Amino acid sequence: MYDIVFISYKELNAERNWELLKLKAPSALRLHGIKGLHNAHAAAASMVSTSMFYVVDGDAEISDTF
């Protein structure tokens, strides 16, 4: 199992999408407000405890089958 990091910046629906993700993956981590995609992914990598991890973007709506 891999860690999951939800990365958001200024997406209008980020809060709703974060809540949907937490329903499916309660242990997911959140990273908010880091400018630049590369910077956000590097910061996410420093948060996780697994060798690889899933990234969920702030504008991604979690499907029921996730």
Q: Residues 11-52: pLDDT tens digits?
A: 999 999 999 999 999 999 999 999 999 999 999 999 999 999
The H helix count followed by the E strand count for the chain is 2, 3
Main-chain dihedrals φ then ψ at residue 30, nearest 5 degrees: -125, 135
Taking the complete model, does pTM exceed 0.85, yes or no? yes
The secondary structure of residue 38, as a DSSP letter, is H
- Cross-strand bridge partners of residue 57: 7
10 CB neighbour count, 10 Å cutoff: 10
Distance (Å, whole) CA 59 – CA 16: 9
